[in-house]
Every structure is written in C-alpha cells, then in structure tokens.
Amino acid sequence: MPRLLALAPILLCAAALVLSLLCLFAGTNKTFLEDYSIVTLNTSRLGQSALNTSRSSDNPFISFIDNVTNTISSDINSDLNSFAKDLGLHDFYSAHLRDYCEGYYTPGPVPNATLSKHSIHKNVTACSNHTATFNFDPRAVLQRELNASGHSNINLTDLKWPEAIDKGLHALAAAQKATFVLYCVAIALIGLALLLAIVSVFFDGRISAFVNVLVDWLAFLAIGLASAIVTAVAVKASHVINHYGNSVGVSASKGGKFLILTWVATAVMLAASLVWCADCVVERKEPKRVRAGKGKGFGGEYENGRF
C-alpha cells in the first residue's frame, strides 16, 4: 500500500515551489505581480528642495524651470511633477529581484484634501531588462533618464539627491546580488524535495524518510536564508532612503507583499520537513512490523507486487 503520509509533503513542497518561483518572477514584466516589489522608491517630489533653497540660476535644474515657466511664481511647487515628467523622471521606481519597474502615481502623487492615500494607484509604464546580478542603483537610473530626455546637463546633485543614499545602497549591493543565487539554490532544492516526496509514496522505510528530512531541511535553510537576506535588504534600503531622503522629498517603502510571499514559502517548507521528521519517528517506533511486511529490500518488495 502506498504511504499516504507522503501526500502531505508532496502538497507542501509543491506549494513552496510555486511560491518561491513567484518570488523569483514577480515584476519581470509590468503586468506580472508588479506590486510584489522588494522596495519601492517614491521620487515624486524630487527637486522640491532645489526649488526651496538657493534659487540661483547656476543650477541647471532651476534654469530649466525658469526657462519653461518664465515666471518665478510661488506655487511652482505644485507643478513640480510636470517638470519632473518633462525631464524624463518617473514618480516611483520599484525594485524586484532581477529588475526594476517605473511609472507614475494616478491621479496624483501626493494625497490632499480631496485625494485620499488609498485612492492613489501605481501606473506602471515600463520595466527594465532582467539581469541575474541585478543591483538597484537609483542614481544611475535617474541620471540615465535625464540623459535620455536630453537633459544630461542636469545631474542629480543639482536635484539635491543625497550622496548618503548611494553609499547606503552600495553597502547592500553584494547582499542584493546574492539573493538571486540563493533563490535559485532554494528552488532547486525544493524541486528535489518534491521529487523525493513523490518517489517516497512507493518506497517507504526509514532511509527514504531520512533522505527526505535531509533534503527538506536543506531546502528550508536555503529559502529561509534567502528570505532573511531579502528582508534585511528591504528594511535597510528603505531605512537609508527615508533617513537621508525625506528632507529632499524622496521616500521608500519595503515590499510587504513580497516579504509575506517569501516567508510563507519558508513556513510551508518548514512544515514539510516537520512532517518527514514525524514520519521518521513513527517508522522508528514500529520497526518490527514494518520489516516483517517488507520482504528483502526493494527487489523483494517489487516481486511481492508492492510497487
């Protein structure tokens, strides 16, 4: 009789495999789970503090605005968004495991009396090409967009982009690159655990339970480590950006949905390995009965028609 206890780990491993694949592929294009980002950077008010402080015309950003508006009006701040659009900049940049996406907040980026925070939606316009060793570098991304719109004379220093953000994110670059490799290792191990669980339906016995425990624990450790590192990156990056960026109108939020996804995958994998542990204990408690019904190893089982 096939071992029914193996069905639970099969379902759990399959669930963990799907969840971890979703983590890996979230946001690879603008329609596929784009809101499952690791960190979302909100640059919709970038440039605000350049407007407030020295409005000197040797800042190319200020002269760009003065050139466009021909007025030095006080409520230029409310039009900041349209200037940013003219410069090729977007409202938000959401970093995923292998790429980033960008877009605008609709109907507007900043909540006001008539616009509640909940009615603001992200309108994703594009996602970058994916690379295995993706590393989110907002300064390079923003400068590339300024260059692409023909404003390479304006640099991020003119927009008062804090250098401390670059330093803080640079410190996380290695961890960010490692997460992709860890997710791949974890997915391979979870796939192996799933195969072993399927095979174990037909071959019971302590050895198969031990092999399953081992592989499931390794898979759990890999996905757990990947989740821990990606959580650390998300928390640290959003902290650094908010700490140095809030005063210049830049903010960030960590991706709650992505973190839930990856930690649920970890918990499911833990459950799978606990089921195999329980199976080991059960097998150990009744070794006599198991052995008596077993014939001589796998060959004997096969001949007895147990396969």
Q: Which of 36, 64, 100, 134 binds ligand NAG (CB under 6 A)?
A: 64
Rule CB under 6 A: say whether 158 interacts with ligand NAG. yes
Rule CB under 6 A: say whether 123 interacts with ligand NAG. yes
Give the three-class secondary structure for 123.
strand
Other CB atoms within 10 A of residue 272 CB: 30
Q: Which of 47, 109, 138, 168 binds ligand NAG (CB under 6 A)?
A: 109
Rule CB under 6 A: say whether 155 interacts with ligand NAG. yes
C-alpha angle 30/245/68, rounded to 5°? Answer: 75
The answer to whether 138 and 41 have CB atoms below 8 angstroms apart is yes
Which stretch in 151-159, 164-172, 208-216, 260-268 sits in contact with ligand NAG by CB under 6 A? 151-159
What single DSSP character describes residue 116? -
The answer to whether 27 and 127 have CB atoms below 8 angstroms apart is yes
Distances from the Cα of 264 to the Cα of 4, 12, 17, 189, angstroms: 24, 11, 11, 17
CB of 233 to ligand NAG, least distance (A): 20
Q: Residue 202 has which token pair?
A: 């037909």
The answer to whether 147 and 47 have CB atoms below 8 angstroms apart is no
Q: Which of 20, 37, 44, 231 binds ligand NAG (CB under 6 A)?
A: 44
Under rule CB under 6 A, how many of the chain's residues touch ligand NAG?
41
Identify which of residues 164 and 195 has a Cβ nearer to ligand NAG in the complex.
Answer: 164
Instruction: Name the residues that contact ligand NAG, by CB under 6 A.
Output: 25, 28-29, 31-32, 42, 44-45, 48-49, 52, 60, 63-64, 67, 77, 105-115, 120, 123, 125, 129, 140, 143-144, 147, 152, 155, 157-158, 249, 251
